[in-house]
Amino acid sequence: MNKPWWKNRRVFVTGGAGFLGSNLCHALAGMGARVTALDAMSEEGGANPRNLDGAGVMLVRGDLRDTELHSLAKGCEVLFNMAAQTSHMGGQKDPVSDIGINAVAQVRLIQAMREAAPEARVVHASTRQFYGRPVSLPVNELHPVNPPDANGVSKWAGEQYWLLESRVLGRPVVSLRLTNCYGPRLRIRDAKQTFLGIWIRRVLEAEPFEVWGGAQLRDLSYVDDVTAAFLTAAEQADAPGVNGQVFNLGGSPPISLHDLAERLIAANDGQGSFSTREFPADRAPIDIGSYHADDHAFRKATGWAPATSLDEGLRLSLAWYREHLTDYL
């Protein structure tokens, strides 16, 4: 990560008041970038008005589906495209709205960027979701695509539209397929962003939480490491072997959900409890089982590597939410 590279650079962040977007905004502003953040501030999404407290960025409240984008994108040098509908069950219940946000609105943004910022680099926030149930572990970028739900289909379409910008028009584009990300500014009032959010809330409120299944493996990425990966991808977006590529992004070594629950309690000074139950009937058909990423390609291409262990990340997350809990309930 090259901090001087960002000084006075004009950056546009969609989904900028969300979990990952806001952490990026704080990092960018801290390095002297001039940042414009766009966020629909949807009640169902991960945005929180407190996420950008102290960041010193310009926040525009608007939806990618109908906001005037040309003036926001004009002259930007880097786009971090973090805006998305991420709810699995939301996509299942309303696939028309889901694809409207994750695919149609992406094409609308692409059109605006072609006119207003044709030279800008783009780093697109993608997901491991559309690999579906893994054929083998760990999962690399050559794994078959088999989305388990409507949200996976729409996210796949959105990513592919961005990759066309690189292949056809030569724009520097990098897509990072994320695994389970966690840390400060994550939505924790419920499980709509990730299961770990509601676990953190329950532990801090001294209430038991539920583990569905328990044997499934997951790898988790601490938000500071994810932020560093996005910044690194943008800095190197025009480099051979990086430009036009999709990369998996992993984190800590894989761990079962049951063991993760134990580690979360340990990080909370041993305070907390949980119960194990079967997946609810409406969730079981879209559960992908165990997953962990092979992210050697991104590490080799860019030199990035995660710096935060799982135990340290859980400890840092709990400490942050103890101080800010009321703002996230």
In tens, the pLDDT along 202-213 reads 999 999 999 988
**pLDDT band at residue 91 under the 50/70/90 scheme:** very low
Nearest CA among 322, 316, 89, 86 for reference residue 182: 316
What pLDDT digit, counting tens, does each position of 118-155 carry? 999 999 999 998 899 999 999 999 999 999 888 889 99
**pLDDT band at residue 305 under the 50/70/90 scheme:** very high
Which residue intervals of 117-185 are DSSP H helices?
Answer: 150-169
**pLDDT band at residue 110 under the 50/70/90 scheme:** very high
Comparing 51-55, 83-87, 99-103, 133-137, the range with the smallest average pLDDT is 83-87
Burial class of residue 13, CB neighbours in 10 A (0-12, 13-18, 19+): buried
Model pLDDT, residue 225 = 98
**pLDDT band at residue 36 under the 50/70/90 scheme:** very high
Query: Average model confidence (pLDDT) for the chain?
Result: 93
| pLDDT, mean of residues 5-32 | 97
Nearest CA among 131, 126, 135 for reference residue 147: 131
Model pLDDT, residue 88 = 55
What tokens appear for 306 in the block? Answer: 């995660």
CATH of domain 3-186+222-251+292-307: 3.40.50.720
Extended strands (E) in the chain: 10-14, 34-39, 58-61, 78-81, 121-127, 173-178, 180-182, 209-212, 217-218, 220-222, 245-249, 255-256, 274-277
**pLDDT band at residue 287 under the 50/70/90 scheme:** confident
Residue 68 has pLDDT above 90, yes or no: yes
What pLDDT digit, counting tens, does each position of 167-180 carry? 999 999 999 999 99
Distances (CA, A) of 309 to 93, 221, 222, 251: 36, 9, 8, 8
What pLDDT digit, counting tens, does each position of 196-235 carry? 999 999 999 999 999 988 899 999 999 999 999 999 999 9
Task: Count CB atoms within 10 A of the CB of residue 91.
Answer: 25
**Whole-model pTM?**
0.95
Model pLDDT, residue 194 = 86
Percentage of the residues of the chain whose pLDDT score is greater than 90: 82
Residue 108 has pLDDT above 70, yes or no: yes
Phi, psi (deg, nearest 5) at residue 276 = -110, 135
Rounded Cα–Cα distance for residues 9 and 186 (Å): 27
Percentage of the residues of the chain whose pLDDT score is greater than 70: 95
Identity (one letter) of the amino acid at 64? L
| pLDDT, mean of residues 154-162 | 95
Residue 89 has pLDDT above 60, yes or no: no
Rounded Cα–Cα distance for residues 80 and 191 (Å): 25
